[in-house]
Structure 1
C-alpha cells in the first residue's frame, strides 16, 4: 500500500472489506482502519468462503489480544490466508505454539538471533550491503526493490546457516509463500506458487538439517537440531517447520521497511539531508521506519473460549485478527501518526508483534536496517523516484515489488 503523510478521509462502513489481497496493493487500508478505530474497533466480517473473523484495530486492543495467549491461541494459524483446517505446522512451529511449549523453541532460537550474536557478523554484513549499494549507485538508475531482494539473506543468511548459493532463491520463495497472489511471485496460480515455494524451502532445509546432525556448526539450524521439546529431542519434522518459521519471520521485514524508507526519503529530501548531517538520527529513523511501514499487516489468533471484545462476542474457536498496521497509526498512542517523524519522544510500535510471540528476529531486522542506512549515508548522495512504483498484492505483508530510483554518489569533498 502507498503510505502518505496525510490523514486519510473516513471510509464508509459498508465499503470496508479487510480481506482482499488486491485491495492492499491499490487501495487505502489506513483509511478503513482509521474509520474502524473511531467507530467500530471490533469489526466482524466474513471471508469469501463465509468464514467469520473479528478485527481489532486500536493499539490497546491489539496489544491485549497478542498478550493474552491463554484466551487467544496461536495454535491454528497466524495468517488470514491460511484458514480451513489451519496451518499444517500448528503446534509444532515457533509461531504456531502457545506457552509454555513455545518457550522451548524460542529459547533455542534466541541465542543465534540476539543482537550480541548478530554483532559478530556485522563486518561481513556491512561489506555485502556496501557492495549492493555501490552497484546500484554506479548504475545510476535501478529497481531498488529488486536490488534489495537478497538483503535479508545478506543480513541473516550466515546466522541461519543457509549457504550463500541459496540466498537469492530463498529470499524469493519466502516472500512468494506469503504473497502467492502477487504477479511478481505467482507461478501459474497461487496454489502452484505455494507448492513450489514449499518444495524448494523444505528441500533446502532438509539437506541442511541432515548435514548439521552429522556435523553441527555455529548457526541457527544447528541450535534447532539440538533443541528439546517436552523433554525429548526434536524430530526432523519439528526442526524443519521451525527452520521454515524462522526464515519466514526473518525475510519480510528488512526489504519492505527499506523500500518504504526510500519512498519517504525521496519525498523528503530535507530529511535525507538532515540524516546525512546527524548520524545520531539513524536509530530513531530505524524505529520510525518500522512503525511507519509495519511490514506485517496483521497477526491471526483463535479464541480458546468465548470472549467479549468491545461490543462483540467472539465464540470459542472464533478467529481474531490483530491489525498491526492500524495499531501503529492509533491517534491515542502516537501524536500525529500519519506523519513520518523520527523525533518522536515515544515510539512503542508493534511492528514485531507483542508479548510472548514478539518476533524473535527483531534484532536481525533492526541491525540490518541500521547498517543499510549507515551505508546509504556513506554511499548515496541523492535519491529520486524514477518510474511507477508497484506494491505487493497481499493482506499479510505490506511490501513493494517495484521501486525504480535514480541515485547519485556522495560528492567528493576536496580538502
Structure 2
C-alpha cells in the first residue's frame, strides 16, 4: 500500500477558500457558508482534492451515491483506527506512533474499527439496540420526555431549549441504559461536550484547536478512569444493564480489556445522546422559524415520524468520517489510489439535489427520506432506532403541550468539524391550555 501521507497529484483541486472551509470547525459553526460551498462542489466538482495547510491532501466526497458506494465496500475503504476523522499532520503522527497497549491516546470505538474486529464488538450489544431490544423502553423513555416538557413549562413562556431540555433528555435515557445515577449527569454532559468539541472555547480551555484534534483525548482519559471503575463494579455485581453486558463480555474467548470496555461505554454515552440532542434541537429551531410547519404537525401527529427523519437530515450532526483506500479504485471517473484519504461529507449528501427534492426546504412530509445521517453500510449507527424512538416520543409529548413556538433570539451552533449541532436556542412558546 502507498504511504498514508502521500501527495495526491493529477486530480481536480478544490479552490483553496472552499477547501479551507471544509476543514474548518468555525465554518460548521456558521453553517450557511459551508452549505454554499458544498452546493458548489456538488455542482462543479463533486469529487475533488482539498489541500489544506498542515494536513495531508484528501478527497472530498460530496454526493449521496458516492458515499453509499464507499459504504458498501468497507474492505476497500477502511477506518484505519485514528485516521477515521480529519487530523492535521502533527496530530496524525502523534496518534499513529507506537504506544503502550490500552493507551487512551485513541478511543477504540466501533467507528474506528474495521472487519473482523468491528463485527465482533458490534455484536456485543446489537440485540440491545435493535428494534426488538428497545421495544420495552417506551414507558421509561416517555416518563423522561414528560420530565423534559415539565421543565419547559416550569420556565414559563421562555427557555434556552438546548441547555434546559435538549441536552438532558437523551442523556438521561443513556444513563438509565448504562445503569448510572442522575448524580453523574452533569459530569457526563461536560465531558461529552469537551470530547466532541475541543475546538469550541465554550466547551474546552485546552489547546486542542491548535493541535487539530477532532476529539479531546484529555476528556477520553477522564472518561476512561470513570469507566474503569464501572467495569470493576459490574464484574463484581452484574445488574443486567448494558454496562453489565459490556463489562462481562468476551472477545475471542478472553475477557474484554478495560480500555476496550471503556471505549465501548464512551461510544454509547457520547454518541448516544449528543447527536440525538442536536437533532431534537434542530427540529425545534426549524419549527420555530416555520409556524406553518409547526401548525401542520400540531394538527396531524401522524407527521411526527417524518418530522424526526427530516430533523436528522436537516441537522446532520455527524459532519464527516474519513476513509482510507486500500487499493486503486475508480470513483466518479476519478482514480483513487491505494493510501488516498477520503472525507465523507454527510451534510452535503443530505442536501444532494439528485436525491432530495428542494433539499433546502424543511419538509416533515418528505417521502422517501433516504438521508445518510446515520451513516451507511457496515458502520451504520448502532443506536439509530433508539435515537428515532426518543425523538418520536419527545415530539408526541411536545405537541401535546406546546400551542405555539417562535425564536426569542439568535441560535448558535457548535464550533466543530466532526460532531456538531445547535449550541444555544432561545425560544418563546405558549403552553396549551
- Shift of residue 238, structure 1, vs aligned partner: 1.5
Unaligned runs of 5+ in 2: 1-13, 97-103
Q: Distance in 2 between matches of 1:288 and 1:195?
A: 32
Where does residue 343 of structure 2 map in the other structure? 321
Structure 2 partner of 1:75: 80
2:163 equivalent to 1:141: no
1:320-367 CA-to-partner distances (Å, cap 9, x unmatched) read 111111111111111111111122221111110001110101112111
Aligned 8 A contact 2:413 2:421 in 1: yes
Find the aligned partners of 1:220 and 1:47 in 2 and give their Cα distance: 41
State the Cα distance separating 1:14 from its structure 2 match. Answer: 4.5
Residue of structure 2 equivalent to 1:132? 148
Residue number among 41, 44, 51 corresponding to 2:49 in the alignment: 44
Q: CA deviation at 1:81?
A: 4.1
Corresponding residue for residue 174 of structure 1? 192
Distance 1:232 1:91, change over 3 A: farther
**1:64 matched to 2:69:** yes
Whether the aligned pair in 1 keeps the contact of 2:297 and 2:303 (CA below 8 Å) is yes
Corresponding residue number in structure 2 for 1:155: 173
Does residue 279 (structure 1) correspond to residue 301 (structure 2)? The answer is yes
In the alignment, which residue of structure 1 is the partner of 2:101? none
Compared CA separation, residues 23 and 321, structure 1 to 2 (3 A) = same
* Structure 1 contact 57–322 (Cα < 8 Å) conserved: yes
Residue 84 of structure 1 corresponds to which residue in structure 2? 92
- Is the CA contact (8 Å cut-off) linking 2:106 and 2:217 kept in structure 1? no
Alignment of 1:6-405 (within 5 A): 13-17=15-19, 18-27=22-31, 28-76=33-81, 77-81=83-87, 84-85=92-93, 86=95, 92-139=108-155, 140-147=157-164, 148-190=166-208, 194-405=216-427
1:408 aligns with 2:430: yes
Alpha-carbon distance in structure 1 between the residues aligned to 2:87 and 2:393: 33
Number of aligned residue pairs: 400
Seen in structure 2, the aligned counterparts of structure 1 residues 90 and 314 have a Cα distance that, compared at 3 Å, is: farther
Distance 1:89 1:304 in 2: 24
Structure 1 unaligned residues grouped into runs of 5+:
1-11
Q: Does the aligned pair in 2 maintain the 1:216–1:222 contact within 8 Å? A: yes
Q: Deviations over 1:289-346 (max 9, x none)?
A: 1111111111111122233333543333221111111111111111111111122221
TM-score by length of 1: 0.90
Q: Which deviates more from structure 2 when the two are superposed, residues 43-52 or residues 98-107?
A: 43-52
Measure the CA separation in 1 of the matches of 2:333 and 2:193.
36
Which range moves more in the overlay, 230-239 or 101-110?
230-239
The structure-2 alpha-carbon separation of the partners of 1:90 and 1:312, relative to structure 1 and needing over 3 Å to count, comes to: farther
**Contact 1:104/1:227 (<8 A) preserved:** no
